[in-house]
Amino acid sequence: MLTFLPEVPSSGSQKLSLKPDPFFSLSLDMLCVMSSDGYFKELNPRWEKTLGFRSEQLLAHPWLELVYPKDRQLTLSKLRKLYTNSEPITFKNRCYCADGSYKWLLWNVSFCPERQLIYAVVRDQTECKLSKEALLDSEERFHCLVENVKDYAIYMLDPQGRVISWNQGAERINGYREEEILGQPVSLLYPPEDIESGKPEYVLKVAAEVGRFEDESFRVRPDGSRFWANAVITALRDKKGRLRGFAKVVQDITERKLAEEALQQAHDDLERRVGERTAELVKTNKRLRQEINERKQVEKELRRSEKQLRQQTQQLQQTLHQLKKAQAQLVQSEKMSSLGQLVAGVAHEINNPVSFIYGNLNYAEQYFQDLLELIKVYQQCCPNPAPKVQDQIQQIDLDFLTTDLPKLLHSMKVGADRIYQIVRSLRNFSHLDRAEKKPVNIHEGIDNTLLILQSRLKSTSGHPGIEIIKDYGDLPLIDCYAGELNQVFMNILSNAIDAIEESFANHHLSLANKKQQIRIHTEAINKDWVAIRIADNGAGIPELVKQRLFDPFFTTKPVGKGTGLGLSISYQIVVEKHGGHLKCFSSPGQGTEFVIEIPLGQTSQQCCCQNPYYTSREMLNHESRIHNYPLLEATSF
């Protein structure tokens, strides 16, 4: 017999007499009464549900056998304090389950000296314990990820702007070791002129007010050297909206800045040379004109020289145009490459745990179906079970459980499948093999792009959501560069969302038409061409702006919101790389429609105006048809 408390002498044996108490059975905690000989005297049904043992098994053995061996000494030491302390005591330990596992239990115990009985309320803390361990493990992995990033400086600031964390990338880029910078103000990294102008404080103030701040400027290392940095600072707030600090990500862009400066210098030199050459040509031309009456042969040579000079000027202009185009492609390619790698990395990290969950749901569903089938067979073989079993059936509402459990598993499968589709869309959108031309489903590219932009389509407190109306035609697979064509969809849809948001902010949408819509229509023009139409009901584009819409670096957006490269790059992708056409039809107050025409193969790159689909009357009336085709069935996204 295992005794953990001194026995109090008594004149005779004590007999436990407990009246049935409904709350004893209904409690969600495990309730029990134990004697000083180490055996249970009374248990509520929650013990069977939690540990899996039957009540007869629990009552027949010393309860200390349930305790994990390494926790028994601690448990006994806690219980011995009950004899000298009249107050209840609380402690945690691990107890075995019927399947061989163990669970963490929280005990609240009191001792009754008169009856030599111990009363305990026990709560299962296993899920809470595992959740805390999983959270700590997740935080450790995230910390390791941030610490091992070397291409970006990632560090945290407290609300006053002092550095409280420092990764390897920050040490490599900024030049400060962790022990040198921790606790120091972030202004230590700025050049003296920025400190004098109050820029560090201004940056933190703006980030705290609007949530985010980004700029490109100089930073200073400990040795006094400077470098160009792209810095993004984000305000961190808790659930109550209180400012907890700032997260800052910095990238060294010195090489890119030097390349841009060199390219600009080359551009300036070329323009200077063209100007000098042009002035020289004018002077030569004037001199030759004065001699034309004297020497006809000189006139012939002059004409030939003029022709050659015009060719040279045209070549120089073409070279200048190619330099501008190369500059635009260089900037945009760098951004899209970084975005594609980031999206692909995030999708890969999410895909592993989702695959684990999704792969085990089918087994879980089969196991539960087998258990439910076993219950049905048991009910058929034992139609009149014992009263205790009937009470248990009523208590858990077995009929509801058997009908609701398959629905629950189906809901989990739908959720997991949704996450899988999102991951797949992210990976498809990134298209790291963007240099490879292959047949693709153009509708998947549009849907993947819409999924990336989903957060901008939803309604917020500032304005209602944007409705996507999709009318997809029956299109074959199109031989194209999928990643770059996704970039075109992203640029056009982003501009459509910007136009609608600007219209709503400026109250261009009438009160009678509050719906903000983007219509996407695809169709096969003929056997060789397909068309994708993307139309919005925003404020429209003025004629003067529409004439320069595809010019590089032309933008009507404020500084910081647009570079003027999106539509220019889109035009190059559609027209020059795919041999297609990109057109814009818009009028102020009538919305905007972009039409993308793509050939199905390399042999079909003919002008769409030569196709029977485009008659002269249809080309003249196209603008009037932008928003007048029949209302499409709305598809919420």
431-625 and 22-126 share a CATH fold: no
CATH topology of domain 431-625: Heat Shock Protein 90 (3.30.565)
Cα separation, 120 vs 88, whole angstroms: 9
Asked if residue 260 has pLDDT above 80, the reply is: yes
CATH of domain 149-252: 3.30.450.20
What is the structure's pLDDT at 202?
93
Render pLDDT for 562-588 as a digit per residue (tens, 0 to 9).
555 678 788 888 888 888 999 999 888
pLDDT computed for residue 140 by the predictor: 66
Residues 6+ apart with CB under 8 A from 209: none
Q: What is the pLDDT of residue 129?
A: 80
| Pairing between β-strand 102-112 and β-strand 581-586 as defined by DSSP bridges | unpaired
CATH topology of domain 22-126: Beta-Lactamase (3.30.450)
Q: How far apart are CA 185 and CA 197, in angstroms?
A: 16
Q: What is the CA radius of gyration of the chain?
A: 38
Q: Which residues contact 224 (CB under 8 A, 6 or more apart)?
A: none
Which sequence spans correspond to the domains of the chain? Answer: 22-126, 149-252, 258-426, 431-625
Select from 564, 630, 562, 623 the least CA-distant residue to 594: 623
pLDDT, tens digit (0-9, with 9 covering 90-100), for 212-228:
999 888 899 999 899 99
Calculate what percentage of the chain has a pLDDT beyond 70. 77
Position 243 pLDDT exceeds 60: yes
Task: Quick: pLDDT tens for 470-513.
Answer: 999 999 998 888 878 888 888 899 888 888 888 877 765 543 45
Average pLDDT over residues 241-246: 89
